[in-house]
Amino acid sequence: MTQIITVTNQKGGVGKTTVVSALVCGLRQRGARVLGVDLDPQGNLGFTLGLDIGDGYTVYDVLKGNCAIEQAIVHTEYGDVLSSDIMLSTAEVEFTAPRREFMLSQQLDAVKDNYDFIIIDTPPALNILTINAYVASTGLIVPMEAEVLSLVGVSQIQDTIETVRNSFNPNLKVLGILLNKYNFRLTLSRDILDLAESVAEQLDSQVFPVKIRRSVSVAMAPAHGQSVLSFRPDSKSALDLQKIVSAVAGDRFPLRKKR
């Protein structure tokens, strides 16, 4: 069965695209068939994985019916990618047809059997694009920085998750809250961890045991069209992210030992 995992937080700058690109790249490195889907109009996922996001069809064209989803998927060495661009920012006013919450799910039905994992990047907002991602997904990962405003963003998606569960996707699970840019030496980080664990309990979930440490490599990798896992695989953040990939991959796709 294909796992469809959305990485979500309505607050920007918490590392959603970093986590998505790491999952796509890391799962691909382990031999899994992976598709990354960018639902953020900024188009950062495609850029991060080395695509020219101004060239070819995008997820906007797919949702508009301008092309088949197979025509828009780009094959890369890091995994397959369905990219985005700024045209997707009109989704809230353009996509008004009945059952619009199922647009993405219906499109992914055509290709999901080709993949072991589909990983979805979302915009920093609770809008129709985010709802489409939740409806299509089997699980959510919620990254957040160890600071108060990021925690507020997590709290605010609780109602949206419950609405989707009650109305569209009763099997939707929150796989975990992921603390990013974490500093083990700061009291604030430890305090936020305690609060995040309370929120995770309300979501019937967990805070992932691994915390993603700060690293300049994360900021540098997109400029080279790479995930941090391929750009600086031995950096602190890459080693931490590999543990998240392991948690998602499970026993089916273990980390391959270097020769």
In the chain, pLDDT over 90 holds for what percent of residues? 62
Please, what CATH class does the domain formed by 3-249 belong to?
alpha beta
List the domain boundaries for the chain. Answer: 3-249
pLDDT average, residue stretch 207-228: 88
Q: How confident is the model at residue 185 (pLDDT cuts 50, 70, 90)?
A: confident
In the chain, pLDDT over 70 holds for what percent of residues? 98
pLDDT average, residue stretch 120-136: 94
Predicted local confidence at residue 37, as pLDDT: 98
Neighbours of 75 (CB within 10 A): 9
pLDDT at 171 over 90: yes
Predicted local confidence at residue 222, as pLDDT: 86
pLDDT at 136 over 70: yes
pTM of the shown model: 0.94
Q: How confident is the model at residue 149 (pLDDT cuts 50, 70, 90)?
A: confident
pLDDT at 164 over 90: yes
Residue 39 near residue 59 (C-beta atoms within 8 A): yes
pLDDT at 259 over 60: no
pLDDT average, residue stretch 217-227: 86
pLDDT at 148 over 80: no
